[in-house]
A = this chain, B = another copy of it.
């Protein structure tokens, strides 16, 4: 069960309204690497988790992320507080228009969301469950969590780089730091699994686990620990990259007789005749100066 305490996890002191900055910070409220995505990633994993250690960890951090969501949302609300009342009460149209068109998507935050806070990213795109990559397998999920924390850390860092307001910067710094701490926890939980690589239960096929296919060739080809050393067999011959199973590289299926008949019938009906020389719509439409007349005679 969730409970709520009216004090924020971090005090929010905003110097002055700034709808443009508010819109950017929405990225961490309703964006791909924002706090709702984080909270829901861990919450869905935590609900389905049977391992008591991971379950507890996931619910701890999910709950903290909800508390962060509240901090981020409160920053946005404060930055929008002026525009909210201006939209509600009405001031001169020209001034109002200028105040909402600062070069971000603050026009939509103001018009559609009334200068409140919305589950969109900084481009006004609504949050989607597709951001949540929980797969109910711990070695994959913990790696997804580690990556998500790394991404979130970077977005906060970029926002800090964009921010001049000391109070906002301070709160963003706290939020950024917590992503670092969370990443550490998820790493510990991953490596506390005795064997966590490869993920899942089925082993890989030995003949393909250590091959590196040099698929992109030309000036810039580089060797490094990711494709050289004793863990790797480097394959650059194009012939060795195709049909690596030793077959002919085609796709086939055994069809029942009736379906073979239908297939033949369909192919005859729909063949593009390679020996034809048709006049086309483009020929017709190429205009008087082009091949049209010729085409039609």
Contact = CB atoms under 8 A, between A and B. Distances in A.
Interface residues of A, number: 229
B107 A104 contact: yes
A279 B254 contact: no
A283 to B, nearest CB: 8
A214 to B, nearest CB: 6
A245 B11 contact: yes
Interface in A216-231: 216-227, 229, 231
B88 A266 contact: yes
Interface in A35-81: 36, 40, 43-45, 47-48, 50-57, 59-64, 66-67, 69-70, 73-81
A3 B4 contact: yes
Contacts of A36: 40
B4 A63 contact: yes
Given A129-B30, A212-B181, A112 B6 contact: no
Interface in A85-123: 85-91, 93-94, 96-97, 100-105, 107-108, 110-123
29 contacts: A1-B7, A2-B215, A6-B59, A9-B249, A16-B256, A32-B133, A48-B114, A53-B222, A56-B216, A63-B215, A88-B262, A93-B161, A103-B107, A107-B123, A110-B158, A111-B159, A157-B200, A181-B210, A181-B211, A181-B212, A183-B199, A184-B209, A185-B212, A190-B272, A191-B278, A191-B279, A192-B226, A195-B288, A197-B287
The 6 closest A-B pairs by CB, nearest first: A123-B124, A7-B249, A11-B247, A195-B287, A114-B136, A101-B103
